[in-house]
Structure 1
Amino acid sequence: MNQTTRSPLLLRTRGMAAEIAARLRVMIDEGELPPGARIDEKELSAAFDVSKTPLREALKVLTSEGRVTHRQYIGYRVAEIDLDDLVATFEMLHGLETMAGELLQQRVTNSQVSAIAAKHRRMVECHEAGKRVEYFRLNQQIHQMIVDAAANPVLAAIYSTLMSKVHRARGAANADTLRWAESASEHEAILAALEDAERRDLPRILREHSENTAREVLAVLMRARGDAPAGDLARKEVSI
């Protein structure tokens, strides 16, 4: 069989692998496959209706991205999250949220506030309907819209990069029902501060929301790991 004959099959396999990788990436990033979870190849092959060949190609891609780990004779698992790196990233985000809030006091336009309010209403509808994944996606979009409205492209780019680093951790912690309700309430306060003409409280409210989110994300991840004494958790909470 010559190379020309092999190429179509190879391309089809690679195309399937890319699609599977994209679907698994979402499942991992949004918490459906939590950190440390074993990846059952047989189960996923059946769920995606594919053979193990494109599935394993997809898993290799996710391994190279750091989302998945592989050990011989053990198989694939969703990669654990580096908590020290997560704490450091959240610390940066707290500062960026505060800075954005300060810039927004003078720069945000009425049309931008209206667009954020419209997105917020859609998010509230998802919360009331129990659509957790859709709520989480809208939540992320709203945060980026708020920072973008500060009209500082460097700030917006750095914020987007750091948020992508904590996205998987936020998704893993997204199943906590109590925090979900608290987060929705905090977003109401953010919107109210945005709609206020002076926006005096906006920097503080944005920072507090960021800190509360970080605290809960870390608490959920450490409880899931079950390897952190309460004292260590408390120290991490103080640090953020």
Structure 2
Amino acid sequence: MIADDAEQVAKGQSPSTHVELVAQHLREMIVTGELPPNSRIRERELAETLDVSRTPVRVALSILEADGLVIGHPNRGFTVAEFTIDDVLSAYDVRGALESHAVRVAIEEGQFSRTSIKALADCLAACEDTFASGVAVTDMLPKFTAANETFHTTIVNAAGRPALNKVTAYLSRMPLVSPTNYLFSIKREEDGLFGMRLAHAEHLPIFDAIKRGQASRAESLMREHIYATQQRLSVVLQSDLQSRDRARSTLPIARTKT
């Protein structure tokens, strides 16, 4: 249960932090099947369950719509999207192929401008500042995901291939695939922070390869980075599946094929 709005203010939490905390709880409820696929989301009931007002729930649902986890319907609220673990993980295979190709093309064709290099450097610096701030993981999350999205988008844009942009944009609308999405258990925030630090550490050599004009190295590093991200997400999803099995609840996500 989340502290209500008054308690949130008393504890010094910012409204954005409160919304992100609600959004993360809702992500868990969807992934664990507490909110089944295709079910209608009732804002009032969710607000009561989480012990918050309806406003942060409404804003959090908009965030989850961008994540691809819920579907908005004009004048009819939201329903939970239906997807499988295979859907999510296979999308990362495609994303890895696209982004590794993008960084190689951008380097080989000299498409990284001073502006794009500075944008990448600023992303890395923003992450360093965020980690050094010592704030709660839910407070770090919006800043990290914003920097993460900019880092990846800048690289794809630098390739100068409209088709790449279109396919990447399509993938980003799939559940849990966008660089703005980051899933971890509220009960294990330390794992969330560790994952963010790993992703940042993987960005550093990619940036170094870009600056040095090492196309093959950057391509390989990007492919490995997306693969590592895929595997970290897989661990979280499989863990939630096991929890769901133990609870004998309805499974909204199919098991991965072996």
> TM-score of the superposition, structure 2-length normalised?
0.61
Q: How far apart are 1:98 and its partner, in Å?
A: 1.6
SS in 1 for 2:52: helix
Of Structure 1 and Structure 2, the greater helix share is in 1
The alignment status of 1:123 with 2:116, answered yes or no, reads no
Letter in 2 for 1:221: L
The alignment status of 1:101 with 2:95, answered yes or no, reads no
The alignment status of 1:217 with 2:233, answered yes or no, reads yes
Aligned length: 193
Return the alpha-carbon distance in structure 1 between the equivalents of residues 126 and 208 of structure 2. 16
- Shift in CA distance, 78/31, structure 1 to aligned 2, threshold 3 Å: farther
- Partner of residue 44, structure 1: 47
CA contact (8 A) 2:44 2:54 kept: no
Letter in 2 for 1:161: Y
CA contact (8 A) 1:144 1:160 kept: no
User: Where does structure 1 lack aligned partners over 5 or more consecutive residues?
Assistant: 1-22, 69-75, 236-240
The alignment status of 1:158 with 2:167, answered yes or no, reads yes
CA contact (8 A) 2:152 2:179 kept: no
SS in 2 for 1:172: coil
Q: How far apart are 1:207 and its partner, in Å?
A: 0.5
Return the alpha-carbon distance in structure 2 between the equivalents of residues 193 and 31 of structure 1. 34
- Shift in CA distance, 184/219, structure 1 to aligned 2, threshold 3 Å: same
Q: How far apart are 1:42 and its partner, in Å?
A: 4.1
Return the alpha-carbon distance in structure 1 between the equivalents of residues 106 and 236 of structure 2. 32
Return the alpha-carbon distance in structure 1 between the equivalents of residues 180 and 159 of structure 2. 26
- Shift in CA distance, 209/79, structure 1 to aligned 2, threshold 3 Å: same
- Partner of residue 199, structure 2: 183
- Partner of residue 8, structure 1: none
The alignment status of 1:204 with 2:209, answered yes or no, reads no
Q: How far apart are 1:37 and its partner, in Å?
A: 4.1
Q: Deviations over 1:98-127 (max 9, x none)?
A: 211211212222321112211221122123
The alignment status of 1:142 with 2:144, answered yes or no, reads no
Return the alpha-carbon distance in structure 2 between the equivalents of residues 193 and 211 of structure 1. 18
Q: Deviations over 1:52-83 (max 9, x none)?
A: xx97xx89xx7xx7627xxxxxxx99556411
Aligned CA-pair RMSD: 3.7
Alignment of 1:64-75 (within 5 A): 67=70
CA contact (8 A) 1:30 1:167 kept: no
Q: How far apart are 1:134 and its partner, in Å?
A: 1.5
The alignment status of 1:31 with 2:24, answered yes or no, reads yes
- Partner of residue 195, structure 1: 211
Q: Deviations over 1:186-220 (max 9, x none)?
A: 11112111211344411001110000000111111
Return the alpha-carbon distance in structure 2 between the equivalents of residues 199 and 30 of structure 1. 38
> TM-score of the superposition, structure 1-length normalised?
0.66
Which moved further from structure 2: 209-218 or 121-130?
Answer: 121-130
CA contact (8 A) 1:30 1:168 kept: no
Which moved further from structure 2: 101-110 or 206-215?
Answer: 101-110
The alignment status of 1:110 with 2:110, answered yes or no, reads no
Considering Cα pairs closer than 8 Å and 6+ residues apart, tell me whether 1 or 2 has the greater RCO. 2
Q: Deviations over 1:117-175 (max 9, x none)?
A: 11221122123324123212221221111111111111012112212311399422485
SS in 2 for 1:201: helix
CA contact (8 A) 2:92 2:230 kept: yes
User: Where does structure 2 lack aligned partners over 5 or more consecutive residues?
Assistant: 1-15, 36-40, 72-77, 246-254
- Partner of residue 84, structure 1: 86
- Shift in CA distance, 218/42, structure 1 to aligned 2, threshold 3 Å: same
Return the alpha-carbon distance in structure 1 between the equivalents of residues 154 and 179 of structure 2. 20
Letter in 2 for 1:128: A
CA contact (8 A) 1:30 1:171 kept: no
Alignment of 1:223-238 (within 5 A): 223-226=239-242, 235=258
The alignment status of 1:172 with 2:183, answered yes or no, reads yes
Letter in 2 for 1:84: D
Return the alpha-carbon distance in structure 1 between the equivalents of residues 160 and 22 of structure 2. 28
